[in-house]
Amino acid sequence: MMYRFVQSCDKMLSTIHFHVSCIFTAKIYTVYHWQANNGEPKLKPLPLAYSSYFPVDSEEGKHPRDLVIILHGLLGSKSNWNSIAKAIVERVNRRVILADARNHGQSPHSDQMSYEHMAEDVRLLLDSLVVKKVDKVCLMGHSMGGRSAMYFALKYPSFVDNIIVVDISPVGAIESIDALVALCRAMKDVVLKPNLSLAEARADAGEQLKPHVRDLATLNFLLTNLVSRREVPGFRWRINLESIVDSSGRLAVFPNVGTTFGKSALFVGAENSSFLKPEDEPYILKLFPRAQFEYVPNSGHLIHVDNPDVLLALIIKFVSNV
């Protein structure tokens, strides 16, 4: 099956097998506004950049009604999940949306970042997609995106029919958050030389980051965030490193929502990762009583890189049976 791909720019592009449209959203810097009725702050959502995949034989305006939204992890972007999105479209008749989180990818930057903020961003995205016309919504997230998906499902259960959480748990604090903060600071300290090609600049930045990164897959994952500047020659990190560092404490701990999500949920862990552990399952079942658990062998935290075929099979099986 061929598919169409729509990505959030101000110009239309076309290719042989699929159509691409892009819309770059303007940056928004004010995150709080004040309610007139009680003076309490209300979280203001940001418009997220997103890519949309759907079967190429579906007519314009008549895309599949069932929807899968995928939220990437910390320091990632929607492009990390392109292959998975295409495969879902090819195997099941679903539209797939990949969204860049705030301070990541092509989405706006903000000095405010928390799971509460990111849930409001997803709510705005669903509103913009006219989700009332969609029959089923599966919200899927990896790592930070998985916690965002959990929080959203607990706060707005009527908006989603089921969730998939990839290698993350709501239990406890993320033990590696200090290492992630150190890595962000190391990225900020990288000397970006302007007189190189993008490939050369990424290779040079990679050499500078090697002392701080354990494996090549993670290093390559991080280097996808190094992009060319538009205004002047040179390069920049497209993620908001300063805001991520400042928000690390809020991202380390899952908020207490005080509700449960009674619909289907799939939790996928990795054999060689400690982000989702079997001993977390009893607590997770208190929040998500219909949760199912699967663990992918021969995989670290980046399951979609280490063992994408097994992960994809689990996703397809789940969305096909709920």
Q: Which entry of 143, 148, 264, 299 is annotated as an active-site residue?
A: 143
pLDDT at 35: 28
Structural tokens at position 224: 């996808």
As a whole number, mean pLDDT of residues 196-218 equals 93
> Is pLDDT of 30 > 60?
no
pLDDT at 54: 86
pLDDT at 41: 53
Q: CB 178: neighbour CB atoms within 10 A?
A: 11
Task: Please report where in the chains the tokens 């913009």 appear, as a residue.
Answer: 128
Q: Which entry of 242, 243, 281, 294 is annotated as an active-site residue?
A: 242
Max mean pLDDT range (1-5, 185-189, 228-232)? 185-189
Cβ contact 102:114 at 8 Å: no
The enclosing H or E element of 7 equals strand 3-7
Cβ contact 207:182 at 8 Å: no
> Is pLDDT of 193 > 80?
yes
Cβ contact 103:86 at 8 Å: no
Query: Residue 172: which pLDDT band, with cuts at 50, 70 and 90?
Result: confident
For the chain, give me the number of helices (H) and strands (E)?
Answer: 11, 14
* Average model confidence (pLDDT) across the chain: 85
Q: Confirm whether 242 is a catalytic residue.
A: yes
pLDDT at 66: 87
The enclosing H or E element of 243 equals helix 241-246
pLDDT at 174: 73
Distance CA 234, CA 193 (A): 7
> Is pLDDT of 264 > 60?
yes
Max mean pLDDT range (37-41, 89-93, 281-285)? 281-285
> Is pLDDT of 285 > 60?
yes
As a whole number, mean pLDDT of residues 276-298 equals 97
pLDDT at 58: 60
As a whole number, mean pLDDT of residues 156-164 equals 96
> Is pLDDT of 31 > 90?
no
Query: Residue 87: which pLDDT band, with cuts at 50, 70 and 90?
Result: very high
As a whole number, mean pLDDT of residues 68-73 equals 97
| Residues 144-156 pLDDT 10s | 999 999 999 999 9
Query: Residue 22: which pLDDT band, with cuts at 50, 70 and 90?
Result: very low
Distance CA 81, CA 184 (A): 22
pLDDT at 60: 56
As a whole number, mean pLDDT of residues 315-320 equals 96
Q: What are phi and psi of 255, to 5 degrees?
A: -70, 155
Q: CB 163: neighbour CB atoms within 10 A?
A: 27
> Is pLDDT of 307 > 80?
yes
Ordered structural domains, the chain, with CATH: 3-172+254-320 (3.40.50.1820), 177-245 (no CATH)
> Is pLDDT of 11 > 70?
no
Max mean pLDDT range (16-20, 155-159, 214-218)? 155-159
Non-local CB neighbours of 50 within 8 Å, separated by 6+ positions: 7, 8, 78, 97, 98, 99, 100, 125
As a whole number, mean pLDDT of residues 279-302 equals 96
Cβ contact 144:170 at 8 Å: no
As a whole number, mean pLDDT of residues 105-112 equals 96
> Is pLDDT of 48 > 70?
yes
> Is pLDDT of 132 > 70?
no
